């Protein structure tokens, strides 16, 4: 990857720096006063349940939607007025595959390269084909590719103009574990070269590979920070239990005070709640010598579900 | 928004992409060539370019020399073959009705006598004009014959009979289709119809398809400008439009022997305006439609008046005023007149200019709405 253009736009250490960004569709507020700062060179994970407004937020960052309220900059350019400058320096990978299925890999890349008016187009296309291991498939039609290869093509296409910021909207949905891992290795290589990456995902293992995270629900930013910050932001207590008749136990404890989540993981049950004292009191009441109880560190998923549940109480 | 400027590079990128997609989509390309040919064949069945030896019944109440000369002249013209002799009017009418004959020639009893007295006797020719393309040329031939056939007979003292509008009062009565649209109108008219149909549908799908397949979101996230996308989608289909024009002209000439009196380069040049107007209309539909089905419906909605109210199906002046008003907004109406004018009447630029302005106005308005409606964001 060639280094970012010398004429770096004015601005701070932040590739994304927005405050109060809001988007309404009709009477529905889909993105509600979000503040977000993403440092240059950072991999920023953007998480949230379906319909929480992740795609909408990203579209506002890259100039596809105009925010109803809020201000800020993306790569130093104003998100409301300098959309065409933003477009030139951002690589956006849409949630749905959005290249031409009736064009070959090379033709798709060539088309995108032309739209960005790249000075040495042929070389740029060849470089990106090689970098992502697409060179010997370059004549295959995009429509005939499997999910993993489509994803590589999309990544190659949104990198072709050497952007400074990558906005990746669920790039690994429907991709097998090995391909996902390779994809993430690639993302880390890019970040090491100075690229900023904002990436949405529903996979917790991927969330853990980000430098920082943000969690969104009902259009609101519920928490953000490093993995530890996020885990600490909700004081969740989680116990595991193993033993016989877990299904009965789950049914029994679900309605007890202080118990907010009861989730089965194979032969163990995870029981969590925000009020540690109430939770432990409830657990004592159902103690059975056949069961083995352990207190563990709450996982990201438990934290997110807890966040979503409390958000539902507040906003929905 | 800080403007990124129009560049030919990006325009060319879109044009190239459209051509590749066109090349890959064999079915659509086949349709674009197939539709003109199919329509020509369909309409062509009704067109016998130079129909001759048409069955004719003679009802001659007068067998005098003038009448015989007239009938002989009709025969030698090649258009008429006397297949029946009718004695009564009813009999003649029945032959016409059954389609046994195309024409009935009625020579009245006192034809020769009145001719000699200079009273311009009436000679009635009845025609079955259900297929006007068949009767048109024959009837034209009759007119010429009526005026000059007796020249040789009317010499010496009879020469005075030439004096007036012609010695015979020729009455042509077209049954079943009094409007008499002639054959040559159909094939040139077909050019406008075929182009309207294919051009509008093709481009109506152009942007809707991108939106439906999700490629629009990608396109919008690049620096490409709306006008570059629009022009880039129009230009390749101008080439297709010219292929269609050429196909129709070649078929008109070699298969249907349509006369081409005027300048073909002029016709090609002004066709650009018409093709572009239809493409712009299609693009505009495409920015309005929510999905491809809607786009096709809109194209159809445009196509129907273009075929019905343009003067292609029905004579323009026979239509009610509101229909004429609608018709004169449609590009096809003007193009029809231009094509017929150039091909059949040998019109030059001066004569067709009044029809160029409406085309140009339509193009500009359609394009402006299209560019305005083309959303550069997904809002
Ligand atoms: N153009 C639009 N018009 C109206 N509503 C919209 C539009 N785009 C999105 N929405 C609504 O906004 C909400 C947020 O959608 P968005 O696509 O941003 O969610 P998301 O977080 O990306 O979800 P997912 O994880 O499923 O991709 C949804 O309820 C959606 O129905
Ligand atoms: Mg989404």
CA–CA min distance A128, chain B (Å): 17
Q: Are residues B186 and B171 in the same domain?
A: no
3-state secondary structure of B301: helix
Report the interhelical angle of B264-288 vs B331-345 (nearest 10°): 170
CA distance A312 to chain B (A): 27
**pLDDT class of B129 with cuts at 50, 70, 90:** low
Phi, psi of A48, deg, nearest 5: 165, 155
Q: Please give the pLDDT value at position B317.
A: 67
Residue among A66, A97, A112 whose CB faces B222 most closely:
A112
Q: What is the pLDDT of residues B337-372, one digit of tens each?
A: 888 888 877 788 888 888 899 999 999 999 888 888
The pairing of strands A28-39 and A261-265 is unpaired
- Residue B250 domain-assigned? yes
Same domain, yes or no, for B163 and B298? no
Which range among A46-50, A175-179, B38-42 shows the weakest confidence by mean pLDDT? B38-42
Q: Are A219 and A52 in contact (CB under 8 A)?
A: yes
Does residue B35 share a domain with residue B16? yes
Question: What are the b/e assignments for B296-319, b being 16+ CB within 10 Å?
Answer: bebbeebbebbbbbbbbeeebeeb
Please state which of the ranges A263-267, B256-260, B302-306, B319-323 shows the lowest mean pLDDT: B256-260
Residues B216 and B113 in one domain: no
Q: Is B11 among the domain residues? A: yes
Q: Answer yes or no: is B48 within a domain.
A: no
Query: Both B218 and B73 in a single domain?
Result: no
Asked which of A201-215, A298-312, B42-56, B300-314 is least confident by mean pLDDT, the reply is B42-56
Shared-domain flag, residues B224 and B358: yes
Same domain, B115 and B255: no
pLDDT surpasses 80 at B196: yes
Q: How deeply is A163 buried, as exposed, middle or buried, from its count of CB atoms within 10 A (0-12, 13-18, 19+)? A: buried
- Residue A238 contacts residue A296 (beta carbons within 8 Å): yes
pLDDT band at B50 (very low <50, low <70, confident <90, very high): low
Q: Which of A200, A166, A175, A198 is nearest to A55 (CA)?
A: A200
Most confident of B64-73, B129-138, B165-174: B64-73
Distance between CA atoms of A24 and A53, rounded to whole angstroms? 10
User: Is B195 inside any structural domain?
Assistant: yes
pLDDT of B138-179, one tens digit each? 777 777 777 776 666 666 655 555 545 566 777 766 654 444
Mean pLDDT of A173-191: 92
How does DSSP assign A268-295, residue by residue?
EEEEEES-HHHHHHHHHHT--TT-EEEE
Question: Best of B215, B224, B229 to disrupt the A interface by mutation (most A CBs within 10 Å)?
Answer: B215
pLDDT higher than threshold 90 for residue A143:
yes
Q: Single out the residue of B207, B239, B227 nearest to residue B367, CA to CA.
A: B227
User: Which tens digits make up the pLDDT trace of A58-96?
Assistant: 999 988 899 999 999 999 999 988 988 999 999 999 999
Type and span of the H or E element at B30: helix B26-44
State the total domains in chain B.
Answer: 2
Of the candidates B229, B207, B185, B182, the one whose C-alpha atom is nearest the C-alpha of residue B6 is: B229
Residue B333, in any domain of the structure: yes
- Which residue's CA is minimally distant from atom 9 of ligand 1? A56
Q: Which two three-digit tokens encode residue B165?
A: 């509008």
- How far lies A9's CA from each of A85, A182, B182, in Å? 10, 31, 70
CA of B222 to the centre of ligand 1 (A): 22
pLDDT value at residue B178: 44
B168 and B201 fall within a common domain: no
**ipTM given for this complex:** 0.82
Task: Choose one of B175, B210, B233: the last residue of a domain.
Answer: B175
The pLDDT of residue A2 is 45
Alpha-carbon torsion, ordered B342, B344, B347, B351, to 10 deg: -90
CB contact under 8 A, B214 and A97: yes
B130 Cβ contact partners less than 8 Å away, ≥ 6 residues apart: B176, B177
Residue B15 has pLDDT above 90, yes or no: yes
Whether B188 has a pLDDT exceeding 90, the answer reads: no
On whether both B82 and B231 belong to a single domain, the answer is: no
> What would the mean pLDDT of A248-255 be, rounded to a whole number?
86
Q: What is the mean pLDDT of chain B?
A: 81
Q: DSSP states of A192-240 as a string? A: HTT-EEEEE-S-HHHHTTSSEEEEEETTEEEEEESHHHHHHHS--EEEE
We report the CATH number of the domain holding residue B151 as 3.40.1710.10
Q: Which residues surround ligand 2, an ion (CB under 5 A)?
A: A 55, 95
The structure's pTM equals 0.77
Among B128, B159, B175, where does a domain finish?
B175
Question: Which is higher by pLDDT, B35 or B149?
Answer: B35
User: At which of B160, B175, B190 does a domain end?
Assistant: B175
Same domain, yes or no: B11 and B72? no
Nearest to A96 among B25, B214, B220 (CB): B214
In which order are the strands placed within the sheet that holds B103-107? B80-85, B54-60, B103-107, B122-128, B169-175
Same domain, residue pair B142 and B214: no
Share of chain B above pLDDT 70, in %: 83
Q: Is the pLDDT of residue A5 over 60?
A: no
**3-state class (DSSP) for residue B116:** helix
Residue B49 in domain: no
Please list, residue by residue across B166-202, b when 16 or more beta carbons sit within 10 angstroms of its beta carbon and e when fewer do. Answer: ebbebebebeeeeebbbbbbbbbbbbbbbbbbbbbbb
Task: State the DSSP H helix or E strand holding residue B274, giving kind and residue range, or none if neither.
Answer: helix B264-288
Query: B199-209, pLDDT tens digit by residue?
Result: 998 888 888 88
Find out whether B128 and B103 touch, Cβ atoms under 8 Å.
yes
A12 pLDDT band, cuts 50/70/90, is: low
> Quick check: A314 pLDDT over 70?
no
Q: Which two tokens stand for residue A179?
A: 């391909």
Range of B134's domain? 54-175
pLDDT(B271) > 90: yes
Best mutation target, A56, A58, A64, to test chain B (most B CBs within 10 A): A64
Question: Would residue B362 count as lying in a domain?
Answer: yes
Domains present along chain A, CATH in parentheses: 14-226 (3.40.50.300), 235-297 (3.30.70.980)
A127 vs B257 pLDDT, higher one: A127
Both B166 and B247 in a single domain? no
Give the span between the Cα atoms of B261 and B258, in whole angstroms: 9
Q: How far, in Å, is the centroid of ligand 2 from the Cα of B306?
A: 44
In a domain, B104, yes or no: yes
């Amino acid at each position: 990857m060639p280094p970012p253009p010398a004429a770096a736009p004015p601005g701070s250490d932040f590739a994304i720096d927005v405050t109060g960004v809001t988007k309404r569709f009709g009477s529905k507020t889909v993105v509600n006063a979000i503040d977000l700062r993403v440092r240059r060179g950072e991999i920023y994970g953007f998480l949230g349940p379906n319909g929480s407004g992740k795609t909408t937020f990203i579209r506002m960052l890259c100039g596809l939607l105009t925010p109803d309220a809020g201000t800020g900059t993306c790569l130093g350019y104003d998100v409301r007025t300098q959309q065409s400058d933003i477009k030139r320096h951002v690589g956006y990978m849409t949630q749905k595959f959005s290249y031409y299925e009736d064009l070959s890999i090379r033709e798709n890349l060539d088309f995108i390269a032309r739209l960005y008016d790249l000075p040495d187009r042929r070389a740029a296309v060849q470089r990106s084909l090689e970098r992502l291991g697409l060179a010997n498939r370059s004549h295959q039609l995009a429509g005939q590719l499997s999910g993993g290869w489509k994803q590589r093509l999309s990544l190659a296409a949104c990198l072709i103009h050497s952007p400074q910021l990558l906005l990746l909207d669920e790039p690994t949905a429907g991709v097998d574990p090995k391909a996902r891992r390779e994809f993430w290795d690639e993302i880390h290589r890019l970040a090491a070269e100075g690229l900023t990456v904002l990436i949405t995902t529903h996979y917790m293992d991927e969330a853990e590979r980000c430098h920082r995270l943000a969690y969104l629900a009902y259009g609101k930013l519920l928490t953000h920070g490093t993995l530890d910050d996020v885990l600490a932001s909700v004081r969740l207590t989680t116990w595991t239990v193993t033993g016989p008749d877990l299904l009965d136990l789950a049914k029994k404890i679900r309605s007890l005070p202080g118990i907010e989540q009861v989730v089965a993981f194979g032969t163990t049950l995870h029981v969590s709640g925000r009020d540690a004292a109430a939770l432990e009191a409830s657990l004592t009441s159902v103690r059975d010598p056949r069961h083995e109880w352990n207190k563990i560190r709450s996982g990201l998923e438990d934290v997110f579900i807890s966040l979503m549940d409390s958000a539902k109480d507040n906003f929905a | 928004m800080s403007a990124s400027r129009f560049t030919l590079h990006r325009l060319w990128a879109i044009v190239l992409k459209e051509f590749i997609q066109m090349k890959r989509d064999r079915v659509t390309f086949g349709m674009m060539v197939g539709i003109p040919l199919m329509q020509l064949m369909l309409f062509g069945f009704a067109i016998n370019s130079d129909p001759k030896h048409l069955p004719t019944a003679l009802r001659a109440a007068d067998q005098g020399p003038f009448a015989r000369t007239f009938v002989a002249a009709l025969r030698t013209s090649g258009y008429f073959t006397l297949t029946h002799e009718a004695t009564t009017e009813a009999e003649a009418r029945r032959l016409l009705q059954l389609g046994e004959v195309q024409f009935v020639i009625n020579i009245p009893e006192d034809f020769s006598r009145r001719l000699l007295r200079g009273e311009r006797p009436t000679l009635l020719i009845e025609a079955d004009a259900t297929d006007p393309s068949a009767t048109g040329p024959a009837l034209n031939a009759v007119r010429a014959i009526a005026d000059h056939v007796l020249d040789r007979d009317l010499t010496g003292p009879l020469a005075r009979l030439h004096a007036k509008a012609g010695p015979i009062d020729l009455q042509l009565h077209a049954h079943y289709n009094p409007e008499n649209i002639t054959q040559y109108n159909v094939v040139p008219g077909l050019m406008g119809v075929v182009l309207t149909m294919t051009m509008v549908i093709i481009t109506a799908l152009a942007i809707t398809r991108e939106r439906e397949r999700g490629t629009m979101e990608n396109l919008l996230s690049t620096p490409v400008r709306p006008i570059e996308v629009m022009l880039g989608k129009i230009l390749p289909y101008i080439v297709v439009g010219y292929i269609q024009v050429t196909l129709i002209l070649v078929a008109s000439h070699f298969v249907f022997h349509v006369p081409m009196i005027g300048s073909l380069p002029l016709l090609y040049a002004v066709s650009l305006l018409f093709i572009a107007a239809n493409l712009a209309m299609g693009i505009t539909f495409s920015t309005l439609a929510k999905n491809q089905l809607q786009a096709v419906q809109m194209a159809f909605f445009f196509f129907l008046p273009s075929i019905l109210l343009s003067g292609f199906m029905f004579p323009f002046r026979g239509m009610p005023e509101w229909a004429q008003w609608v018709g004169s907004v449609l590009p096809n109406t003007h193009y029809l007149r231009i094509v017929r004018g150039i091909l059949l009447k040998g019109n030059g630029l001066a004569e067709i200019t009044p029809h160029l302005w409406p085309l140009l106005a339509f193009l500009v308005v359609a394009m402006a709405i299209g560019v305005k409606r083309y959303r550069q964001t997904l809002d």
